[in-house]
Amino acid sequence: MNNPAPSDASGHAAPLRPDRNLALELVRATEAASIRAVPFIGRGDKEGADGAAVDAMRAFMTTVSCDGTIVIGEGEKDHAPMLFNGEQVGNGRGPKCDIAVDPIDGTTLTAAGRNNALSVIAVSDHGTMLDASSVFYMDKLVTGPAGVGVVDIRLPIGENIRLLAKALGKPVDEMVVSVLHRPRHEKLIAEIREAGAGTRLMTDGDVAGGINAARYNARTDMCVGVGGSPEGIVTACAIKALGGHIQGRLWPRDDDEKQRALDAGLKVDGYVYEADELVQGNNTIFVATGVTDGGLVAGVRRDANYVYTESVVLRGVSGTLRRISSEHLVSKWL
């Protein structure tokens, strides 16, 4: 339970803020979503996997001690019956906060039985998370701490690779850059290779790609390219805890989407959102549980009467990454 709110300098009660207790409560929701998705792994039914994960996450979110608003969810209310943008979640008895959910980041990965599918929740103080839901895509650049003040998304990718390599003390030919494997990135991939770096092409799941690039001693040094706008905001919450670098530019697909962005007060035409514009402040929480195996966490595994999950919890305030390995009785989930 949350403690009573402390008083501020004026003697008034200071508002409750997301804290470590909330982080541990959220793990239960991502664990539930991951476990419910297991029957769909490798079955070619990404809608079924997503639906099962949404149902499970929503059920657990009603018990969480917070007064949360879904800023980034499954879509608008008319198209998403649960975890939709603007929905109030939690039991209403905890801190007011912004919440981003992705019951499965990597539904295609799950359906195909490939690595790096996650169940994800990110949280920040109320009113601090950019609502970029009117634009589907965002161009992103993510690195670890060495890239802070060094790289810039406005520079050519080759120059960013050389600058980061120098900051890391690595030869350029040892640099590895993660990119979603999409036709829109053919030129970008060619430029990375022309610069002398290697690529790690991701079929999906750019949240994991961004976090893996920002972690110390990770196998990749940078994550770039156009992916989902919601995933960019979620990744920013995690990067705050890792001390890394993230920038984003909204990438409207057509004039109609651009106008919707402008109507929502968003900045387009190449405007670069820095980390503190994507998510203000450092009081962020990022929670992820593996659905399938990946470089960040292991996927769900069943052995006889038990189901095993692995999760990570990142907190921006403390700059910590904690791993949580859980053992669940199968009988409790049937």
307 & 272 share domain:
no
Query: Given a cut of 90, is residue 295 above it in pLDDT?
Result: no
Q: Which pLDDT value is given to residue 268?
A: 95
Phi-psi map region of 301: left, alpha, beta (phi>0 left; psi -120 to 50 alpha)? beta
Judge if 236 and 297 occupy the same domain: no
Q: Which residues are annotated as a binding site for substrate?
A: 105-107, 137, 182-184, 204-206, 228
Give how many domains the chain has, as a whole number: 2
Residues in Cβ contact with 295 at an 8 Å cutoff, skipping those fewer than 6 apart: 115, 116, 208, 212, 218, 219
Domain membership flag for residue 47: yes
Q: Are residues 87 and 164 in the same domain?
A: no
315's CB contacts (< 8 A; 6+ apart) are 20, 23, 241, 284, 285, 286
Q: What pLDDT does residue 19 have?
A: 66
Report which DSSP code applies to 82: S
User: Going by DSSP bridges, is the β-strand pair 67-72/96-105 parallel, antiparallel, or unpaired?
Assistant: parallel
Its domain, for residue 83, covers 22-129+284-332
Tell whether 125 and 84 lie within a shared domain. yes
pLDDT tier at 34 (50, 70, 90 boundaries)?
Answer: very high
Which of 278, 305, 323 delimits the end of a domain?
Answer: 278
The answer on 123 and 150 residing in a single domain is no
| Residues 264, 300 within the same domain | no
Q: Residues forming the annotated binding site?
A: 50, 74, 102, 105-107, 137, 182-184, 204-206, 228, 231
| pLDDT for res 331 | 86
The answer to whether position 116 is within a domain reads yes
CATH number at residue 254: 3.40.190.90
> Are 125 and 152 in the same domain?
no
3-state class (DSSP) for residue 161: helix
User: Using CA atoms, how far apart are residues 238 and 202, in angstroms rounded to an integer?
Assistant: 19
- Residues in binding site for Mn(2+): 50, 74, 102, 105, 231
pLDDT of residue 4: 41
pLDDT tens digits along 120-144: 999 999 999 999 988 999 999 999 9
Residue 193 is classified by DSSP as H
pTM for this entry: 0.89
Block residue for tokens 């657990």: 60
